[in-house]
Each structure stands twice: as structure tokens, then as C-alpha cells.
Amino acid sequence: MSNHKSGFVAIVGRPNVGKSTLINALIGKKIAIMSPKPQTTRNRIMGVYTQPDFQMIFVDTPGMHKGKDLLNKTIDRIAVSSIKDVDMVLFVVDDAKGSAEDHIIAYFKGLRIPVFLVINKIDLLKNRSAIDEVIISYLDAYAFEGVTPVSAKDKKNLNHLIETLQPYLPEGPLFFPEEMKSDQSENQLMSELIREKILFHTEQEVPHSVAVVIESLEENLELNTIDVSALIIVERTTQKQILIGKAGEKIKKIGTEARKEINQILNTKIHLTLWVKVKKDWRNRPNDLKAFGIGDES
Ligand SMILES: Nc1nc2c(ncn2[C@@H]2O[C@H](COP(=O)(O)OP(=O)(O)OP(=O)(O)O)[C@@H](O)[C@H]2O)c(=O)[nH]1
Ligand SMILES: [Mg+2]
């Protein structure tokens, strides 16, 4: 295929600015979990956008911040390393520049690839001049290749964003089969969707202390379902109690919501069983992080 273009586009920014919402909106499918809580995304997730003459591979990354424990250091490193092997970067913001952005912008210095500023959540801004104010606050910070205001939630201006990026794609092959939307396995997506429901139903430290792994998948020929068993790991007994809730109410709710969404997204019929286990200080143990699927290749 001559003149076919393809390339990788990293989506980076502070936690909670809407990077995962943006990748899902661009791809047109939920491939990355989203939540109002910061530090939702923990791994690099690729979303594939294929058109007849080009393929853009968006790379969702964890929000960049300076966390103290090994989990946070690891996810920050994942985000930082993701801008090294891509063709361009989208720097997503949702507000006027603050000091939290400085250490992220510092990573752009020395990059030889274009960095685009994406102002997300414009549905929350009153008018054009409010958008301009946000844009202006960033202009001195870096020589951005372009600026695009969008609303990932309302899918506003996303075509314009794609059109802005398209000329910067190098010639290249189809890296993923046309029908493929993400590099995530079904198991990864299932455990992430379970974690998403936990993020919605817990507060404070609990959401950050949780990891989810799929333990087993078994086809149930009699009922024509797939029996999925998932393990939720927390750090303390009190967190386990919170997660289970009075008479098991909370865990039941989480399970029901996760099952419904998994069935809808994967077009399957699963039966989901959740187990909760305490593993003290797992966020600081390299082997646990690895076992729970958090990490990068570097
Ligand atoms: N109003 C509005 N809210 C948005 C928009 N995009 C995302 N959000 C909300 O912002 C919150 C964070 O969204 P995420 O997509 O999880 O943010 P993220 O940048 O991936 O966060 P981390 O993974 O923690 O770094 C969620 O509550 C989203 O619903 C938008 O365009 N408009
Ligand atoms: Mg995210």
C-alpha cells in the first residue's frame, strides 16, 4: 500500500483532565475506564483509529503527577516513557495553567516531535473568550505545534483534532488489523471495568488501594455463559470491609454493574464472581505490581 500513513499519538496530561474520555470518544468505543477520581488509568492503553488511507494509534497514559509510593512512581514512569516512542503528543489540559503542569511540560523540552495542546471540557467554559484565556495561559510555556479546544464528553471538535494531526503522520503500514480497536486483552478490559465500578463506589484511599485480576474464565456449556472469577486486592482489612459493605451490599452492586457493562461491551454473557483479598502494602512491592498487570517494558 503506497502512501499509506500511520503513527502513534501519545495522550498525556495531569490526572483527571479527561485523557481516557478523549481516547474513547476518538475511537468510538470504551476501551479505557474513566472516573471523576484522579489516577484512574494505571497503564498505557492503545486505541486504534483506522481510515482507508491512514491509521492513527492513540496511546492513553496515566495522569502525570509526583506520587510517593512505588505504584505511583511506576505509573508516572509509564506516562513519561510513552512520549518517547511516538510520532506526536497531545498535551491535554482542562483549565488555565497551574504549577502542576510545569514538570510535564519539562518533558517536552528536547523532544523532536510535535506537541499539540488540547483544551478539553470546553462544555464547562462559558464562551470563546473563556477558552482563549485558557489557551493564552499556556502559550509562553512551550512552542506547541497547534491548539485544539474539544469536549471529549460531548464529542465536540474531535474531527477537527484528527484533521489537525493527520498531516503529521509519517508514511507507514497498518500496525493493527483494521477491525482492531485496542491492544488490550479482554481479560484486561474486564478487570479494568470492575476497577472502574469500585472507583465509583468507594472514597478516599480505597480506590487507590485496589487492584483487580481475573483469576479464571470457564465456559459453562449448560447455561451458555462464561463463569468469570475475579480477585480484588486491597491493602487493609478495613478496606475489605468497606468494599464488601453491609451484608455484602456494596460488592454485590459493584459486581452487577461490572457484569452488565462487560456483557454489553464484549457482547458476551458472563457470570461474575468477585473475591476480596487483603495484601498489605502491595503498592510498594514490585512483584505484586507485576502480578497485577501494572508496569511497562522498560
Ligand atoms: N464536562 C466534561 N467532563 C469531562 C470531559 N472529559 C472528561 N470529563 C470528566 O472528567 C473526569 C475524568 O475523566 P478521565 O477520562 O477519567 O480523566 P483522565 O485524564 O483519563 O484521568 P487519569 O486516568 O486519572 O489520569 C470524568 O469524570 C469525566 O467524565 C469533558 O469534555 N467535559
Ligand atoms: Mg485515564
Give me the sign of the Cα torsion angle 148, 112, 10, 202.
negative
Amino acid at 54: F
Mean pLDDT of 142-156: 98
Distance between CA atoms of residues 217 and 231, nearest Å? 12
Of 51, 45, 52, 54, the C-alpha closest to 10 is 45
Of 157, 185, 168, the C-alpha closest to 26 is 157
> What whole-number percentage of the chain has pLDDT above 90?
94
State residue 276 phi and psi, 5-degree precision: -115, 130
Residue 298 in this model has a pLDDT that exceeds 50: no
Contact 283, 232 (CB under 8 A): no
Atom of ligand 1 nearest to the CA of 15: 25
Atom of ligand 1 nearest to the CA of 14: 25
As for ligand 1, residues whose beta carbon falls within 6 Å of it are: 15-21, 34-36, 38-41, 62-63, 120-121, 123-124, 151-153
295 confidence band (pLDDT: 50, 70, 90): confident
Q: Whose CA is nearest to atom 6 of ligand 1?
A: 18
Report strand pairing: 45-51 vs 54-60: antiparallel
Q: Hey, which of 22, 33, 34 would you mutate to test ligand 1's pocket, going by the most ligand atoms within 8 Å of its Cβ? A: 34
Give the CA distances from residue 158 to residues 62, 76, 169, 178, in Å, rounded to whole numbers and listed in that order: 21, 27, 17, 20
Q: Which residue has the higher pLDDT, 29 or 67?
A: 29
Mean pLDDT of 180-200: 97
Relative to the alpha carbon of 36, which ligand is closest? 1
- Write the pLDDT tens digit of every residue in 203-248: 999 999 999 999 999 999 999 999 999 999 999 999 999 999 999 9
Domains, the chain, with CATH or none? 5-168 (3.40.50.300), 186-291 (3.30.300.20)
Contact 289, 74 (CB under 8 A): yes
Q: Hey, which of 42, 153, 196 would you mutate to test ligand 1's pocket, going by the most ligand atoms within 8 Å of its Cβ? A: 153
Of 167, 135, 192, the C-alpha closest to 56 is 167
Q: Hey, which of 16, 95, 104 would you mutate to test ligand 1's pocket, going by the most ligand atoms within 8 Å of its Cβ? A: 16
Mean pLDDT of 188-196: 97
Q: How far is the CA of 22 from the centre of ligand 1 (A)?
A: 8
